[in-house]
Amino acid sequence: MSSNITAVRGREVWDSRGLPTVEVEIETKNGTFGRGIAPAGASTGSREAVELRDGGTRLGGRGVSRAVELVNTLVAPALLGHDTADQAGIDAILDGLDADPARSNIGGNTVTAASLAALHAAAAVRGIPSWQVLNEAPTQIPRPQIQIMGGGAHAAHRTAVQDFMVYPLSATRIADALAQVAEVYLSVGEIMAARGPRHGVADEGGHWPDVSGTEDALDVLVAGIERAGLRPGVDMGISLDIAASQFQSNGLYRVGGVDHGTAEWIEKLLAICRAYPVITMEDPADEDDSHGMRLAVAGAATVIVGDDYLVTNAQRVRDAAAAREVDSVLVKVNQVGTVTGGAAAVVAARENGLSVIVSARSGETEDTSVAHLATGWGADIVKVGSITRSERTAKWNELIRIDEALGGLPLAPVVTRRAQP
Ligand code: PGA
Ligand code: ZN
């Protein structure tokens, strides 16, 4: 069957925050098509690909009708006739449609949805799952990292820290890991209910952090792990996304009304990593605070992850690796805009001995691309928010299906600090 593109359609659909987002369908012969939906961040890095939003009064200016129009009038004619099997070629065409590498003219959301649609179209035309387009024979399923409590920009800054996650350590299969995390989620809910009335959920489906601060949240998390019959640090580790850019200004980190300079702030985090079984810690310092990132890597036994700090940019990954500013790379396709750009960040990570975490965004949909990318790219970890709400479970459930289709694979090994050269 011909795998050349015969139609490209864009439309405005809805994400988990009730905000519009771009969906693209790319069709090949006989109505076979792939669909991609752009996710959206809340705590975005300033160097990410720029979203194209309509502005004005409709939906608080968040509409994407202009982006959809560009899919139909600009992206479609550029891609018609091209071979979906050539993802790099398609992504190069998408790159060429915007003179600005930040994609401010046609939108990172426009490009992301189109690039993901092309990947899924390439799979559909061959009658195979999308992970298989990226890798014929994966040998592992990425180990999940799952939010139990959401804070920061995802919970009206109820806590400074954005993401209190667990990271199953002893589970060897995805289904078992998810079941363990579900037990922890329930246990933490019971502990929080016993402390008083609960106040709903955070943006990615985690419990609203009704806690007095970071240490209190971690105490509840450890208690939840134990209540679930698991050993903290042995069966279940903790992962934190500090998302420090969110509360840093003028070189100071403001937490609980108190300002901390970089060295003092990082030392506070390192003390937390020593006191709790924190296996990975993301963005401990601001996106421009390379000194803070280096201090964290130098001082922690914990794996230091770059998200806003790296923005899925292969060159930034290489530079940060050379300067010893990260151990691990968070990969979000919509930070860079294309599947090929995401793959380049993965390659840069691997060439420099860094581990790879493929991540969803806080604004998500039923799109399951992340499960396929994480498996196809051989990621160490996959991160999609909590184990509740359908935009999250869509990905976890897809991973269960992928594992089954592959005959049952081991989970990727638990990540460790990058080896010293
Ligand atoms: P975001 O958060 O999607 O709101 O940027 C996710 C993360 O920081 O990992
Ligand atoms: Zn992050």
pLDDT value, residue 199: 81
Q: What is the CB < 6 Å shell around ligand 1? A: 41-44, 153, 241, 243, 307, 359, 361-362
Catalytic residues: 204, 332
Spacing, Cα 358 to ligand 1 middle (Å)? 12
Q: What's the pLDDT tens digit per position in 198-246?
A: 888 999 999 999 999 999 999 999 999 999 999 999 999 999 999 999 9
- Total domain count, the chain: 2
H runs (alpha helix) in 97-240: 108-126, 130-134, 174-195, 214-227
Task: Name the helix (H) or strand (E) containing 255.
Answer: strand 252-255
Residue environment code for 181-193, b if the CB has 16+ CB neighbours within 10 A, otherwise e: bebbbebbeebbe
Q: Which atom of ligand 1 is nearest to the CA of 385?
A: 6
Q: Based on the domain organization, do 114 and 153 belong to the same domain?
A: no
- Beta carbons of 118 and 26 less than 8 angstroms apart: yes
Residues 95 and 169 in one domain: no
Q: Are residues 130 and 120 in contact, defined by beta-carbon separation less than 8 angstroms?
A: yes
CATH number at residue 108: 3.30.390.10
Note the pLDDT of residue 330. 98
Q: Are residues 124 and 148 in the same domain?
A: no
DSSP assigned state of 49: P
Pick the atom of ligand 1 nearest to 362's CA: 3
Which distant-in-sequence residues (6+ apart) come within 8 Å of 416 by Cβ? 303, 355
Final residue before a domain boundary, out of 71, 104, 128:
128
Per-residue pLDDT at 377: 98
* pLDDT for position 2: 79
Ligand 2 center from residue 243 Cα (angstroms) = 5
- Residues lining ion ligand 2 (Cβ < 5 A) are 241, 282, 307
401 and 309 within one domain: yes
Residue-wise pLDDT for 88-131, tens only, equals: 999 999 999 999 999 999 999 999 999 999 999 999 999 999 99
Question: Which of left, alpha, beta for 359 (phi over 0: left; psi -120 to 50: alpha)?
Answer: beta
Which structure tokens are listed for 192? 């929080």
pLDDT of residue 419: 83
Mean pLDDT over 173-189 rounds to 98
Summarised one tens digit per residue, pLDDT across range 367-390 is 999 999 999 999 999 999 999 999
| 382 and 248 belong to one structural domain | yes
Q: Of the candidates 84, 99, 128, which is a domain's last residue?
A: 128
404 has a pLDDT exceeding 60: yes
**Co-location of 32 and 123 in the same domain:** yes
Distance 80 CA to ligand 1 centre (A): 33
In a domain, 418, yes or no: no
CATH code where residue 268 lies: 3.20.20.120
The mean predicted confidence, pLDDT, of the chain is 97
Confirm whether pTM is higher than 0.75: yes
* Pair 247, 98 in one domain: no
pLDDT at 63 exceeding the cut of 60: yes
pLDDT at residue 261 greater than cutoff 90: yes
pLDDT band at 421 (very low <50, low <70, confident <90, very high): low
Ligand 1 pocket check: which of 21, 43, 145, 239 to mutate, most ligand atoms within 8 Å of Cβ?
A: 43
Residues with Cβ within 8 Å of 329's Cβ and at least 6 positions away in sequence, in order, are: 305, 306, 310, 312, 317, 345, 346, 348, 349, 354, 355, 356, 357
Domain span at residue 323 reads 143-405
Does residue 1 have a pLDDT over 90?
no
Is residue 417 in a domain? no
